């Protein structure tokens, strides 16, 4: 089976384009986020416990299987693929997958291949990513204070990430900075983060902490509403509403003083589901139709049951028919427990 998958991934024989994936609410599914691993070389305090138990490697889909699954979605009208983790660049031989998926960019069936990364491996892979067709990436940086960076990530080194940013810029990759707003941690630094990103010619998106998984911390102590952050930023900057969209959940403003774009992702204070055009595939072949719901579809079984794509195609169609209208994110302030038991690193950021 593996050999057949590898051959299919390399030759990619012509297959008829299936019907566009449309959910029950008329939203065309054009965006697939793919977690290639639940492992990470950081242990960010808002994402996971310091002592995580990761999936056995035998449970993960092979890179060839991930390619076949991604290609099935491209045939059904997905135009944007985002590779995530965990930290995607720690997956062994991960560049094979980027290079394989790059053929869909060359054919024009795929409009964008990108990734979200913590930046730890960018210095090593930036050139290869660009060569594979990656034009734009998201890099997670919650602080530009080296000591605070170490405290937030537990295992990370800011200097390494900065070298990664330099390498990506040198390769010609457009960077967007993602920063999680954390009460009492980086809230006073957010104006400086905006200036830092815009000073490098990068957009920046601020994100509310998402209640996913037990992290060994009190999430009510971490939660900082972006409505509060935005109000405070208006003491520093002039914020102008912007129609700019990337296909994700961020809503953007232009910062008049810097000329750069600033995005807000607000899963808790403002539900962003009305225009959701994305689904998430895990490294084990589970498809989550909504980040904030537990309902999921097993695509690994039909993938491995037959090399005939019809079985997998039918499973994808059935899954999209169950995509809900929106999520139910909430932090329970009585029990201080997360909305969902699974960690963000399982589903992909």
- Cβ atoms of 26 and 77 within 8 Å: the answer is no
First CA to last CA distance, the chain: 30
Q: Does residue 47 have a known ligand-binding role?
A: yes
3-state secondary structure of 99: helix
Nearest to 276 by CA among 27, 73, 6: 27
Q: Does residue 120 have a known ligand-binding role?
A: no
Q: What is the DSSP string of 204-261?
A: EEEEEPP-BS--SS-HHHHB--HHHHHHHHTTT--EEE-----SSS-EEEEETTT--E
Q: Does residue 283 have a known ligand-binding role?
A: no
Q: Does residue 33 have a known ligand-binding role?
A: yes
Burial degree of 107 (CB within 10 A; 0-12, 13-18, 19+): exposed
- Cβ atoms of 171 and 291 within 8 Å: the answer is no
| 165: CB partners within 8 A, 6+ apart | 119, 122, 139, 175, 200
Q: Does residue 44 have a known ligand-binding role?
A: yes
Half-sphere CA count of 192, side-chain side, radius 13 A: 9
- Structure-token match 């589901």, residue found: 273
Q: Does residue 276 have a known ligand-binding role?
A: yes
Nearest to 197 by CA among 144, 135, 128: 144
Q: Does residue 280 have a known ligand-binding role?
A: yes
Q: Does residue 290 have a known ligand-binding role?
A: yes
Backbone angles phi, psi at 288, to 5 degrees: -100, 120
Q: Does residue 140 have a known ligand-binding role?
A: yes
Token digits for 18?
């299936």
Q: Does residue 86 have a known ligand-binding role?
A: yes
Burial degree of 188 (CB within 10 A; 0-12, 13-18, 19+): exposed
**Known binding residues for [4Fe-4S] cluster:** 40, 44, 47, 273, 276, 290
**Known binding residues for GTP:** 33, 82, 116, 176, 278-280
**Known binding residues:** 33, 40, 44, 46-47, 82, 86, 116, 140, 176, 210, 273, 276, 278-280, 290
């Amino acid at each position: 089976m593996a050999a057949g998958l590898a051959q299919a991934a390399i030759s990619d024989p012509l297959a008829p384009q299936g019907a566009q994936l449309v959910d029950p609410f008329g939203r065309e599914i054009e965006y697939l986020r793919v977690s290639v691993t639940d492992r990470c070389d950081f242990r960010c305090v808002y994402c996971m416990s310091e002592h995580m138990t990761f999936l056995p490697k035998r449970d993960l889909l092979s890179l060839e299987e991930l390619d076949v699954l991604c290609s099935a979605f491209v045939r059904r009208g997905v135009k944007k693929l985002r590779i995530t983790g965990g930290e995607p660049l720690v997956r062994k031989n991960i560049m094979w997958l980027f290079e394989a998926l790059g053929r869909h960019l060359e054919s024009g069936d795929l409009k964008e291949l990108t990734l979200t990364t913590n930046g730890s491996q960018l210095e090593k892979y930036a050139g290869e990513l660009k060569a594979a067709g990656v034009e734009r990436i998201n890099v997670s940086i919650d602080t530009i204070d080296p000591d605070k960076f170490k405290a937030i990530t537990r295992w990370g080194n800011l200097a390494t990430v900065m070298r990664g940013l330099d390498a990506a810029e040198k390769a010609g990759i457009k960077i967007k900075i993602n920063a999680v707003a954390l009460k009492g941690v980086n809230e006073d630094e957010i104006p400086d983060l905006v200036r830092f990103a815009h000073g490098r010619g990068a957009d920046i998106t601020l994100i509310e902490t998402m209640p996913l998984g037990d992290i060994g911390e009190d999430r009510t102590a971490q939660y900082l509403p972006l409505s509060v952050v935005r109000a405070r930023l208006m003491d520093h900057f002039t914020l102008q509403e912007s129609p700019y969209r990337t296909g994700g959940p961020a809503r953007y403003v232009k910062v008049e003083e810097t000329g750069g774009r600033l995005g807000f992702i607000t899963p808790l204070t403002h539900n962003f589901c009305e225009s959701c055009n994305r689904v998430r595939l895990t490294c084990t072949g589970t498809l989550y139709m909504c980040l904030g719901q537990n309902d999921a579809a097993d695509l690994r079984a039909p993938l491995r049951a037959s090399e005939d794509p019809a079985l997998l195609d039918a499973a994808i169609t059935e899954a999209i028919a169950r995509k809900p209208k929106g999520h139910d994110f909430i932090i329970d302030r009585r029990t201080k427990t997360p909305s969902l038991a699974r960690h963000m690193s399982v589903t992909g950021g």
